Amino acid sequence: MFDILSLILISIFFPIIVLVGKMLYKKENLSRKLILGLTITFLAMELLRFFVVASYYEGAVIPSKEVPYSFITLSCIVCLFAVFNKGKLGKIFQGAFCLTSLVPIIWALFDSAVYTNAYDTHAVAKALYFLECGIVLTIAFLLVSEQKITAWSNLWASILLAIFAVLDCLVITFWETKEAITLMWGITLIVSFVSIGAFYGIYLLACLLAKKHKDKMIDNGKENG
C-alpha cells in the first residue's frame, strides 16, 4: 500500500513541480530545454536502475527472471526518438510516447514485480522507477503543450503497446521471469489500452478549454477596446 501511494504521489507531484516552475520562471525556449534535460535524465536513470540491480549479483550477471524489463524500458527508447528525431517519424513517436505515458504507472499498480527486487533492501531501484514514472508524465505534458497530438496517434500508441505485449510474452516464455501470462496480466494490458484513449480525451478537453479561455480573452479585449 505504501509503494502504491508513493508511486501515485511522485507521479503526480513531479510534473506539477516542474510545470509550476516553468510557469514562474519565464524564459525563451524553456520547454525545449526542459524536454531535452528530462529525456537525458530519463535515459540516465533507466541505465542506472539496470546497473543498480546488476550490482546485487555476483559478477553483475542478472538472472533472467530478475532482469528489470518493463514497458518503461520501451518508453525510454521511444522517448529518445520522439525528442531527437525532427522529421515525420519523430512526430509519430511523440504521439505514441505521450498517449502511453500512463502505462508504466498502470503496470506498476497491477504488478509490483516491475520495480521490486529481493535484494533491493534500500529501495534504490524502486525509487528510480517511481521517479522515472514522474519524468515520463512530465515530458509527455511538455510535448503536448508544444506539439499537436492527432487522432492517428491513438493508432501508433496502440501499435506500440501491442509490440510490448508480444515482446513481454516472449520474455516471460523464454526468460522465465517473475511475471506470468495470467488473467491479471490481460486485465493490465486492457487497462493500458484504455488509458491511451483516456489520455487523448483529456488532451482534447484541455485544448477545448484553452480555446474557450483564449476566445473569452479576445472578446474581453474587444469590449474594453
pLDDT of 128-187, one tens digit each?
A: 999 999 999 999 999 998 888 899 999 999 999 999 999 988 888 877 766 778 899 999
pLDDT computed for residue 224 by the predictor: 59
Mean pLDDT (the chain) is: 88
pTM score, whole prediction: 0.91
Of the two residues 135 and 23, the one the predictor is more confident about is 135
pLDDT computed for residue 12 by the predictor: 92
Spatial distance between the Cα atoms of 135 and 101, rounded to a whole number of angstroms:
10
Give the three-state DSSP class for 77: helix
Question: Which of 40, 29, 98, 42 has its CA nearest to residue 73?
Answer: 42
Question: Which of 114, 110, 80 has its CA nearest to residue 184?
Answer: 110
Task: Provide the residue type at 212 as one letter.
Answer: K
Spatial distance between the Cα atoms of 14 and 130, rounded to a whole number of angstroms:
10
Taking 80 as the threshold, does the pLDDT of residue 27 lie above it?
Answer: no
Q: How confident is the model at residue 111 (pLDDT cuts 50, 70, 90)?
A: confident
CA 28 to chain centre: 26
Of the two residues 116 and 134, the one the predictor is more confident about is 134
